[in-house]
Amino acid sequence: MIKLPRLFVLSKNGLIDYLDLILDSNMAQTKTYLRWCRGFGPELDAKKRIQSRGFEPLPTGWFLYYQNSKNKNPTKCTYCTMSDKSIDEQIVNLYAKFSKYADRLFYIQYSFDQSKVDLIEYTIKDSNKQNIVGHIPKLDIKLFQFINGEFISVEISNLISPMDEKRMPVCNRKGTGNELRYLESYDYSEILDIYAQRYLLSNILRECKGYACDIDHIGFLDDELIIIESKSKDPANKKLKRDGDFNNSSNWYFGWDWRRFAHYMELYYNTGINTVYLIEELDDQKNRKVVGYKSLQLSEILKQSSWGEGGDTNNIPYDAFNDFLTL
């Protein structure tokens, strides 16, 4: 029996180390791990910018698609939020809307005292690629299920027991340990929330078979409840000509992954909640300098988009987007 450390104070750097461990040890592909690492900062930045535009955020969650083949049931959609916020009337109303789409809905309220941190066992691989028992910070959680318009306190088994099991992923470490160091410039609470999201997927649901689709941002903008999907990218087909100018912007476009596009379209038809596709526009992939912010509502994207190569993306003309923020 491995003796766990006594309660201790967890610094910001320590929390980042544990976030890296839980992320890296649960993802098999290096490119997937690096993509997640790069995405946290821009998403946090986008949240601050849209709030400066008057956006009032609500806790975000995950749509979880997990089968229960033992009962020969088709794949069910479960919606689950992991948040330190208490349930209020706005969250109840939001869940009432999502109940028109998701089959089961849960809310996990977590608490964490960085001055009195406890650890739990978490299987990782050592330098010899052998499974060993490691540790990660424990989050104290309360689980609620939304049933008939009300939140009811339930056990964690209510969430995971109907889901098919899979072999627990324990992946080789891929990073240098420095991939997330840039998060040091963000608040402790922001890093903790990222850790909480991975705690849900990579710890609570580690042995559950299925896939997850997250919501980047959800809340009120100009008194309308909307979802905001934020991405950092430069326009495709933007080319530098010999004279030093770029080709006409009428040739440029932004792509949107078809699976997420279809997901938000289905949400819109079931709940009436519109999605705004927000682009943090970069000058190019090398310099990655932010040159503007563009946005377009899903209802407009439906009119403007065309199929990408292979049919896996929607191509949306650059000129169809509106300016969302000025620099």
Mean pLDDT, consecutive 10-residue stretches, the chain (327 aa), reads 72 96 93 92 91 94 85 82 98 97 97 96 92 96 98 97 89 90 97 97 94 94 93 91 90 88 90 93 86 90 74 86 76
Q: Are residues 184 and 230 in the same domain?
A: no
Number of domains in the chain: 2
* Partners of residue 220 on adjacent β-strands: 56, 225
In a domain, 5, yes or no: no
169 and 229 housed in the same domain: no
Question: pTM of the predicted model, to two decimals?
Answer: 0.91
Query: Which residues partner with 65 through β-bridges?
Result: 77, 211
Same domain, 172 and 242: no
Domain end call among 177, 194, 213: 213
Q: What sign does the CA torsion over 70, 76, 77, 83 have?
A: negative
* Beta strand 290-297 pairing with 306-307: unpaired
Could you tell me if residue 146 is inside a domain?
A: yes
Position 270 scores a pLDDT of 95
pLDDT at 326: 54
Residue at token pair 């029996």: 1
Whether the CB-CB separation of 137 and 10 falls below 8 Å is answered with yes
Q: Are the beta carbons of 276 and 229 closer than 8 angstroms?
A: yes
Specify the length of the chain in residues. Answer: 327
> Does 196 share its domain with 110?
yes
pLDDT for 127 equals 85
CATH number of the domain where residue 291 is located: 3.40.1350
On whether both 165 and 44 belong to a single domain, the answer is: yes
> Buried b / exposed e across 98-118, counting CB within 10 Å, b at 16+?
bbebbebbbbbbbebebeebb
What's the domain range around 139? 12-49+65-213
